Amino acid sequence: MTIGLLHLLAFWMFASGVAGVVLRRNPLAVFMSIELMMNAANLLIVLASGGAGMESAATQGLSAVFILIALGAAEVAVGLAVMMAMFRDGKGASLDRVTTLRG
Amino acid sequence: MQACALVAAAACVVVVLNRDLMRSALSLLVVMLALAGIYAGAGALLIAAVQVVVSAGAVVVLFMFAIMVIDSRLEEKSVFPMGKSFVPAAAGAVLVLFASAFAVAGFLDLVPGRMPGVSPVIGSLFSGYLLLLEASGLLLLVSLVAVVILARRNSPR
Amino acid sequence: MHPAGAARLATAAVGLAHLFAWVAFLMMLGTGPENRVRDLDLFPLVQIGEVGVSFMLRWDPLSQLMLMVVTGVSFLIHLYSIRYMDGDDRYPYFFADMNLFVFAMLLLVLAGNFLLLFAGWELVGLCSYLLIGFYSAKPVAAAAGLKAFVVSRIGDAGFILAILMLAGGLGTLDYTGVFSGAPFVFLRDSGSALVLTLLLFCGAMGKSAQFPLHVWLPDAMEGPTPVSALIHAATMVTAGVYMVCRCHTLFEMAPSVLQFVAWTGAFTAVFAGSIALAQRDLKRILAYSTVSQLGLMFMAAGVGAYSAAMFHLFTHAFFKALLFLGAGAVMHALAGELDVWRMGGLARPLRWTFWTFLAGALALAGAPLTAGFFSKDRILFSAFMAQPNGRALWLMGLIASLLTGLYIFRAVWLVFAGKPRVKRVHEPHDAPALMRWPLAILAVLSLGAGLLWLPGNWTRFAPLGGFLEPVLGRGEPYAPPGREAAIMAFAVAAFLAGLGMAWGMYRKGAVLVKSLGGRIKPLYRLLLNKYWIDEVYRAFIVKPLFRTASSMEEGIDRDAFDGTAEGLAGSALDYSGSGRRYQTGHAGHYALAMALGAAGMAVLVFIVQTWVLP
């Protein structure tokens, strides 16, 4: 299998992100794990772009990554704002308490 | 590049496993910077720069602000709330790791080839990807507004 | 609506209808006999396959005759009811129902195709059911209504099948189309003709209470007396006769069925007459009498004398309605008493009632020169002259006439003559004015209506017969002059015999009966209990059906259907119960699930890419 070290890193980051999302109680920590996952994806795209070898394909990949980074920032901003609102309402310090969907 | 990779891998374990939120955030910073290093090493200079400025400089800082505003820096008791679910969750994560590996396995080359630098990417952004660029700008504007509203909504209470 | 207003409105409506009937009659007289048959197609109703049915009315002498009878008698009965039903708290409802009935009956007789005929047929059945059960507080009444509906339904089932046969075989349900086309499709004496006419007669048997479907009519007496007079004497029950006459073209394609009709009628006439002899309830005597007279009408139709049957229908409507209204007056005077053995001595106090009732009785029994005499004589004559078995039928008709005289004069004697058999609380009073006049008018008609068709050997004056000829054909057999007179003589003899026997047996407090009673006790019991037919039906038909129905309800309805539904619901609950445990509410769990799912997909993609596609 042709997997390089960097690809392995990307998968590693992604898996850690998943673990963080599933396991952490604090919503902020969860968020950070999500950010990890996003970056893992970005890394993969970058690797894929370079590996293609064709000028135009690589450019496309990198443009996508550019936009994706911006997207990630926007998402974090909004998410944090939501989280602030949650904290202010008295919930959300622990994700354990968010069980409205229980059924 | 390999060094950056190892650093990143180590730091992301810290992000996930640490009880101290601030330490998690700082480790996240390390991860971002390491990634930037990788991008630079591969030749995608524009992306490396953007990674440092945005991901490291804005996102992580934002996280730190949030952590500072919300005082609970330390999580209660153990990091893993569902004690008995830890094993399945960890196993799940590993599974995800390898599954994704297998999924994309055959389709990638070992080392990144020649990477476009700054100008080709910028050129492409402002020609082919112009719509997307502007849209993401709009998206950022909207999220700005949303954040302001969300952060303020409950203050009359 | 104010009760009195409702009654007046209803009566006025029927009166208006009768007026229109006269206008129509005069219009009909104005045109020559050849163009008196008219069809009026108002608007299309349904189209099923290639059979199109529209709202079509037929206006011809037959329907015109029925029109006059129905509206006229109904009007008189409405007048009577204004007073008779006074005080009942469902007074307006009564009149509404009666008017609905009149509408339905008119629809029936004016229908121009079988669909409307059937619609009217069913609707009168409904009104009958509602009106029989009018005193809904009495369970007997409700049961009687149900019995009427169910039993006539059995007949209706046959009727529906016949209509379907017509629609299928001829592609049309209009009278014109059916009557002209039927002889070609249902060949004479063929199996299909037999089945068709038999099914039609089935419907007639149900509606007109012929044996064995006669059982509902006596029970129908639970309804108010005006209802009995109108529906169960003059109009609804005659619908069967009307239908057979209307479809005589069809019946003529199956002569054996016509024979069957005649014999059923004759048998029923004698059978019902015998039961009437022993009844205690005044209205039931009259009910069985109606069954018997209807039998005579069917006998006439069965030998092809359709006009004679209609003539008797015509006269019977008058005197039977009269008798029922008279019975109502008696009940009114005696506060609801119906048992003739508890009456007696009413001739003097109820003078008006007595004389009109007597007129009706004479007409029913066929006293010479009364309307009943002429119509019955026509029937007997036609029967005698009929080809196969005519004499036997005639004999049965004669016996029925004898019985008629006997039972009706028994009733007259027991009710009006002698001394009161039971102590009365207060003096009975005769019918009030509004009830008297209908009685009087009907009495006049009962006595005089026969003049519309005098027997051939007296004179040629027979306007009624001529009037009906375009529709029903002449049906007047030729006979040597003496023959008719002889038959008439026999009829008169039967009448006198019946009268005499009744006089002998029942005058002076019925001493003779008491002494005879010992010896003929078993016979008496047989007749009183109507030959136990109701009990037989109950044991052999009703009970088994009931048992089948309840076991089906248990087995199918409860166990199968409800069981399945509950079982499905139960298993749905179980499944969801076990599925619910995955909904922990923790977002983390959900995220894990998503991640595992995504991982699974990835593996799948890999497998497909490497091993399946290449």
CA distance C198 to C218: 25
Q: Looking at the predicted structure, is the pLDDT value of residue C507 above 70?
A: no
Average pLDDT (C27-39) is 80
Per-residue pLDDT tens for C69-108? 999 999 999 999 888 888 788 888 899 999 999 999 999 9
* Tokens encoding C143: 């049961």
On average, the pLDDT of chain C sits at: 83
Tally of CB atoms within 10 A around C458: 12
ipTM over 0.90 threshold: no
CA distance C216 to B38: 103
| Chains A–B, number of C-beta pairs less than 8 Å apart | 252
Q: How far is B75 from chain C (nearest CA, A)?
A: 16
User: Considering only CA atoms, which of C237, C154, C153, C247 is closest in space to residue C196?
Assistant: C247
pLDDT value of position C563 = 77
Q: Looking at the predicted structure, is the pLDDT value of residue C143 above 80?
A: yes
CA distance C484 to C150: 43
User: Considering only CA atoms, which of A63, A66, A67 is closest in space to residue A55?
Assistant: A63
How large a percentage of chain B has pLDDT more than 90? 23
Average pLDDT (C478-489) is 75
Per-residue pLDDT tens for B91-131? 666 766 766 666 665 555 545 556 677 777 787 778 878 88
CA distance C528 to C524: 6
pLDDT value of position B103 = 62
The rounded average pLDDT for each run of 10 residues, N- to C-terminus, in chain A (103 residues) is 69 85 80 92 82 57 88 90 77 60 57
Find the helix or strand (DSSP H, E) in which C42 lies. Answer: strand C38-48
User: Considering only CA atoms, which of C262, C276, C230 is closest in space to residue C531?
Assistant: C276
Longest dimension (CA), chain A: 53
Question: Any CB–CB contact under 8 A between B81 and chain C?
Answer: yes
Yes or no, beta carbons of C585 and A100 under 8 Å apart: yes
Which of B30, B61, B97 is the best substitution to test chain A (most A C-beta atoms within 10 A)? B97
Tally of CB atoms within 10 A around B84: 7
CA distance C107 to B137: 81
Subunits next to A (3 or more Cβ pairs <8 Å) are: B, C
Closest chain B CA to residue C589: B89
Yes or no, beta carbons of A46 and B47 under 8 Å apart: yes
The DSSP line for C468-513 is: HHHHH--------HHHHHHHHHHHHHHHHHHHHHHHHHHHHHHHHH
Subunits next to B (3 or more Cβ pairs <8 Å) are: A, C
Cross-strand pairs, C59: C38
Q: Report the residue from B47, B81, B113 with minimal CB separation from A66.
A: B47
Measured in Å, how far apart are chain C's first and last C-alpha atoms? Answer: 89
Q: Looking at the predicted structure, is the pLDDT value of residue C520 above 70?
A: no
Yes or no, beta carbons of A69 and B8 under 8 Å apart: no
Q: Are C179 and C58 in contact (CB under 8 A)?
A: no
Q: Are C203 and C156 in contact (CB under 8 A)?
A: yes
pLDDT value of position B148 = 87
User: Considering only CA atoms, which of C63, C159, C61, C172 is closest in space to residue C111?
Assistant: C63
Residue C273 amino acid letter: G
* Residues of chain A found within 8 Å of residue C590, distances taken between Cβ atoms: 101
Q: Looking at the predicted structure, is the pLDDT value of residue C61 above 70?
A: yes
pLDDT value of position C458 = 60
Yes or no, beta carbons of B81 and C605 under 8 Å apart: no
Q: How far is C595 from chain A (nearest CA, A)?
A: 7
Q: Are C495 and C380 in contact (CB under 8 A)?
A: no
pLDDT value of position C71 = 92
Yes or no, beta carbons of B104 and A44 under 8 Å apart: yes
How large a percentage of chain C has pLDDT more than 70? 92
Least confident of B44-48, C306-310, C610-614: C610-614
pLDDT value of position C366 = 87
Alpha helices for C366-421 (secondary structure H): 371-385, 390-416
Q: Report the residue from A15, A60, A80 with minimal CB separation from B62.
A: A80
Q: Are C179 and C117 in contact (CB under 8 A)?
A: no
Q: How far is C570 from chain B (nearest CA, A)?
A: 32
Which of C586, C596, C610 is the best substitution to test chain A (most A C-beta atoms within 10 A)? C586
pLDDT value of position A6 = 80
CA distance B80 to B90: 11
Least confident of C196-210, C241-255, C389-403, C487-501: C487-501
* Residues of chain B found within 8 Å of residue C606, distances taken between Cβ atoms: 99, 102-103, 105
CA distance C94 to C88: 9
